[in-house]
């Protein structure tokens, strides 16, 4: 068991190092694309693409006040964006009714594929 714990520790440490290195490379690539004013390019044998997405970040207090029905709030238990989106699509929650309960955050995803 000690060897398994030791191996786990080593892998977690390596994972943290790799995530840090990936974050740095991602920032460099995003900066390059911002400088070039592009969202897609072929670099060597790799196709690189930036995809922009908007994500809603709900304010739990505002959402709870708006959806004060305890049964409905119990379905959510907290402002899980996926659950709120599902209930909105199912017309259980009116999108206009909760429009003041979230902020839209724009994020950029980086996709790198080998051609």
Tens-digit pLDDT profile for residues 94-111: 888 888 888 888 888 777
Angle made by CA atoms 76, 70, 94, in degrees to the nearest 5: 60
Q: Please, which pLDDT band fits residue 40 given cuts at 50, 70 and 90?
A: very high
Sheet architecture: strand order including 40-43: 40-43, 46-58, 102-114
If you average pLDDT over every residue of the chain, what do you get? 86
In this predicted model, what pLDDT tens digit does every residue of 42-98 receive, in sequence order? Answer: 999 999 999 998 888 888 788 778 876 777 766 666 667 888 888 888 888 888 888
Position with higher pLDDT, 87 vs 39: 39
pLDDT the model gives residue 101: 84
Q: Is the pLDDT of residue 41 over 90?
A: yes
DSSP state of 115: -
Position with higher pLDDT, 112 vs 47: 47
pLDDT the model gives residue 59: 83
Which residue has 């930036």 as its token pair? 50
CA distance 51 to 32: 15
HSE, CB side, 13 Å, CA atoms: give it for residue 51. Answer: 8
Structural tokens at position 26: 């991602």
CA distance 26 to 42: 16
Strand partners, 105: 55
pLDDT the model gives residue 63: 79
CA distance 66 to 101: 8
Comparing CA positions, the residue from 76, 106, 78, 77 lying closest to residue 88 is 76
């Amino acid at each position: 068991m000690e060897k398994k714990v030791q191996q786990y520790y080593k892998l977690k440490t390596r994972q943290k190092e790799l995530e840090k290195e990936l974050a740095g490379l991602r920032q460099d690539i995003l900066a390059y694309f911002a400088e070039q004013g592009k969202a897609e390019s072929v670099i060597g044998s790799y196709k690189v693409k930036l995809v922009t997405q908007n994500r809603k970040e709900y304010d739990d207090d505002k959402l709870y006040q708006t959806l004060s029905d305890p049964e409905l709030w119990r379905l959510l238990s907290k402002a899980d964006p996926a659950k709120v989106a599902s209930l909105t699509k199912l017309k259980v929650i009116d999108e206009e009714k909760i429009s003041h309960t979230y902020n839209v955050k724009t994020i950029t995803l980086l996709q790198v594929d080998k051609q």
